[in-house]
Amino acid sequence: MQTKYRHSLKRQFAAACITVVVLTVTLCIVANSILLEKIYVRNKEKALINAYKEIYTAAYDGDLQEENFTSSLQRFAIKNNVSIMIITSLYEPVTVYSNESVDDLLRDIRGSLRGTDPFKKIIEQTDEYIMVLKDVPQNKTEYIEMIGNLEGVCMFLMRTPVESIKESTALANRVLIYVGLISLLLSLMFIFLFSKKITKPVLELADLSKRMTGLDFDARYEGRSDSEIGLLGNNMNVLSDTIRDNIARLKSANIELKNDNEKREQIDEMRKEFISNVSHEFKTPIALIMGYAEGLKEGIDDESDREYYCDVIADEADKLNRMVKKLLDLNRIEFGRETVSMERFDVVSFLQNAVSPYTVIAEKNDIKIGVAPMAPLYVWADEVLTKEAFDNYLTNALDHAESENQKRIDVYLEMQENKVKVCVFNTGKHIPDDSIERIWDKFYKVDKARTRKYGGSGVGLSIVKAVTDAMGQECGVSNVENGVVFWFTLETAKPVSEEK
């Protein structure tokens, strides 16, 4: 529904058309009243002068009685409504063309020549003729009259009524009024029929601009005009699309800025939490090192006690060293300082080589460790980062492997579509359900007392999560019968022979 405007284009268009019609008719009437009579009189004067020239030529050439001259003069008199009388010096008519009586014409000639016939004004006077404006009482009519005396040849009188032009002017003005009224009615009909067509695209553009001010950029100009209005409508469509795209980009930028601010706040919180956790984790080993170092400083006579103190200091220092290394590795991976270099390698051979160094530690703790036999399987991954993730799984399994019978760690693969799942199983207690999602957080420990016993830092699994995220893979944990399975995925690759 289009908006109704107080000063609508329809009203303005109607007012403009009506004003033009009224002004045109008025100007025509004014011009007709003022100029038409003057122009008419001037044309009659020229016609009388031209007729005088013909009479003058015929008189001195002796052609006043010639048929050609008389016919021409008669046609002129009829065409221009002119009364003509040519007489001799004895006042005998030679030629007469008039609706008036001959006696009236002769009387007027005598009166004019004697100067007794009154007139209103002299229009033009020469030695041969005089042209005046006069009233004829007999028929109460105003005339333009020319009287001349061609010495030794003839005298003439020509006159034409002026009153008819006044009547014509009044009639013309009435006609103009009628024409004006008809034009006005036609204009109103034209406005009614065509104003909607003319103003519709403009009103559409007005409503379109109003909707755009309300940020409604779905509004479109649908007109197909090739005029300036069509060009304006198309430009407004382009403007609407441009503003919408810019607002979309601005909103995206605002969201990114908001996310950046949230991320910055999150990083600040993580930094505070990290400092708090690191301080807490470092506090115990540092306190032990300081305590046992002071014991050594005070002097211990017993050789076995002195050796025990030194072992504790060395063990706590080693724990600090390993924790610092893991924190540095985690920081390097999480903040993108570690470049991921994807390469193709055999994951089965990789696992066998990765497990080999841990067999001695496993045997020392009565843990049976092994890799399930499998044909070579190629994957795409960063071998160094994969080794770091696997080592953290394996050391975690060694620390938590428990069983009343045989403690066991199994390393095996599970095939998926375009992926392989690397699994590390260890016998032992299940992870509580409320801790499964949190074990990937830095410094989170399910059993803090036990973790302290084997020297865990709570960072290893965070490193695994950071490594898999960096390679675009997944990691997870599941409670199974008799133990726990930790896993991460790798992208499989075809053997070289098949790729060729």
pLDDT at 368: 92
Examine the fold and report which residue of 145, 168, 191 is the final residue of a domain before the chain moves on.
168
**Is 101 contained in some domain?**
yes
pLDDT at 86: 84
pLDDT at 500: 44
Supply 372's token pair: 């399930």
**Is 209 contained in some domain?**
no
**Is 200 contained in some domain?**
no
pLDDT at 478: 92
How many domains, the chain?
A: 3
- Above pLDDT 70, what percent of the chain? 74
- Above pLDDT 90, what percent of the chain? 13
324 and 415 co-located in one domain: no
Confidence of residue 390 (pLDDT cuts 50, 70, 90): very high
Amino acid at 136: V
Whether residue 23 has pLDDT greater than 70? yes
pLDDT at 427: 93
CATH number of the domain within which 89 lies: 3.30.450
pLDDT at 476: 93
Residue pair 317/289 in contact (Cβ under 8 Å)? The answer is: yes
- 253: containing domain: 241-337
Whether residue 474 has pLDDT greater than 90? yes
278 and 383 co-located in one domain: no
Query: What pLDDT digit, counting tens, does each position of 287-345 carry?
Result: 667 777 777 777 766 777 777 778 777 776 766 676 666 666 666 666 555 577 889 99
Tally: H helices and E strands in the chain: 12, 13
pLDDT at 330: 60
Examine the fold and report which residue of 110, 137, 168 is the final residue of a domain before the chain moves on.
168
pLDDT at 496: 45
The SS3 of residue 150 is strand
301 and 366 co-located in one domain: no
24 and 40 co-located in one domain: yes
pLDDT at 133: 84
Examine the fold and report which residue of 285, 309, 337 is the final residue of a domain before the chain moves on.
337
Confidence of residue 347 (pLDDT cuts 50, 70, 90): very high
* Cα torsion through 332, 337, 342, 347, rounded to 10: -10
CATH number of the domain within which 443 lies: 3.30.565.10
Higher per-residue confidence, 369 vs 190: 369
Supply 88's token pair: 């001799």
155 and 292 co-located in one domain: no
371 and 401 co-located in one domain: yes
399/478 Cα distance (integer angstroms): 17
Residue pair 33/25 in contact (Cβ under 8 Å)? The answer is: no
- Tell whether the torsion through CA atoms of 53, 57, 63 and 69 is positive or negative: negative
16 and 127 co-located in one domain: yes
Q: What burial letters (b/e) apply to 235-265, b meaning 16+ CB within 10 Å?
A: ebbeebeeeeeeeeeeeeeeeeeeeeeeeee
Query: What pLDDT digit, counting tens, does each position of 419-455 carry?
Result: 999 999 999 989 888 888 888 887 676 654 444 444 4
Range of weakest confidence among 169-173, 223-227, 305-309: 223-227
Number of Cβ within 10 Å of residue 361's Cβ equals 13
pLDDT at 353: 92
- Average pLDDT score over residue span 207-226: 69
**Is 216 contained in some domain?**
no
**Is 28 contained in some domain?**
yes
Confidence of residue 413 (pLDDT cuts 50, 70, 90): very high
- If we measure between CA atoms, which residue out of 39, 42, 27, 44 comes closest to residue 173? 27
pLDDT at 410: 94
pLDDT at 451: 46
Query: What pLDDT digit, counting tens, does each position of 357-381 carry?
Result: 888 888 888 999 999 998 999 999 9
Distances (CA, A) of 500 to 60, 314, 361, 494, 495: 128, 55, 43, 10, 9
331 and 365 co-located in one domain: no
Chain position carrying tokens 């509004």: 219
330 and 390 co-located in one domain: no
Looking at every residue in the chain, the average pLDDT score rounds to 77
108 and 54 co-located in one domain: yes
pLDDT at 232: 74
Cα-to-chain-centroid distance, residue 247: 10
Q: Mark residue 458 as left, alpha or beta (left: phi above 0; alpha: psi -120 to 50; beta: remaining).
A: left
pLDDT at 473: 92
**Is 468 contained in some domain?**
yes
Highest-confidence segment of 84-88, 182-186, 285-289: 84-88
- Half-sphere CA count of 149, side-chain side, radius 13 A: 11
333 and 436 co-located in one domain: no
Range of weakest confidence among 41-50, 411-420, 434-443, 475-484: 434-443
CATH number of the domain within which 316 lies: 1.10.287.130
- Tell whether the torsion through CA atoms of 311, 314, 320 and 325 is positive or negative: negative
Confidence of residue 122 (pLDDT cuts 50, 70, 90): confident
479/486 Cα distance (integer angstroms): 9
Query: What pLDDT digit, counting tens, does each position of 55-68 carry?
Result: 888 888 888 888 88
pLDDT at 1: 47
256/277 Cα distance (integer angstroms): 30
pLDDT at 218: 67
pLDDT at 331: 63
**Is 3 contained in some domain?**
no
80 and 136 co-located in one domain: yes
Residue pair 281/457 in contact (Cβ under 8 Å)? The answer is: yes
Range of weakest confidence among 127-131, 141-145, 202-206: 202-206
- Average pLDDT score over residue span 383-403: 88
**Is 180 contained in some domain?**
no
Confidence of residue 486 (pLDDT cuts 50, 70, 90): very high
